[in-house]
Amino acid sequence: GDSHFAMTQYSTFHEAGLEHWRNSSAPQYRYFTVVRHPGTRLYSTWFDKIHSHRGSDQPDLLWAACDGDPSCTFEQFVDGVTKWLQEEPDVDKVNEHVAVQSDLCDPKARDFDGVFRIEDGFDQIEDALKKWSDVEFDFKSEKGEIGYSHHNKKAKKVYDEFPVSDKDGYEKYMPYDVQVKIWRAYKTDFDDFGYDYPEKRKTQ
């Protein structure tokens, strides 16, 4: 149960109850994007793609960020990713899990009808979609768990062990120097999507 579960149940017009939008008299399309805190997004990518799956489903990410070593630490992963971003000017050649989000969905280049931060919850997205389409959306997984993974029981066990996957935990526990590295690499995301800059704390 995570944000992927929440979205895939509406992956077609039919599943979303918007079949009528496919005809010539359909209402105007809306454009929106959902973003995530750069630090927790990067940590989640490392935890899932490298730490858990050993890079098996993202070989380009494993080689570019960890030099092919599936046992690389998060700090090593951050160094590899930030170097990749510095040396590769073509966003299409950077794995989408670590690409700068504002390069993928630049709010300055496109007039989005909505820009939502996943940390703010799914209610705001459901409300906007209801307003735009007059269709009720309910972002739940097949097991009835809320889409945002930090809130469901199964994932809670993982995130209790790795609290930095949550934005508040990340800001509280992730070493300050690591946060600064991430902030420098993803500064446009912090600025464009309103995320707080790193702040040194005693708990880090």
pLDDT digits (tens, 9 = 90+) for 89-109: 999 999 999 999 999 999 999
Per-residue pLDDT band at 67 (split at 50, 70, 90): very high
CB 52, CB 44: distance < 8 Å: no
Distance, in Å, from the CA atom of 16 to the CA atom of 139, rounded to the nearest integer, reads: 11
Angle 95-100-148 from CA coordinates, rounded to 5°: 85
pLDDT of residue 85: 97
Six token digits for residue 65: 């960020």
In the chain, how long is the greatest CA-to-CA distance? 59
CA atoms within 13 A on the CB side of 187: 5
Per-residue pLDDT band at 21 (split at 50, 70, 90): low
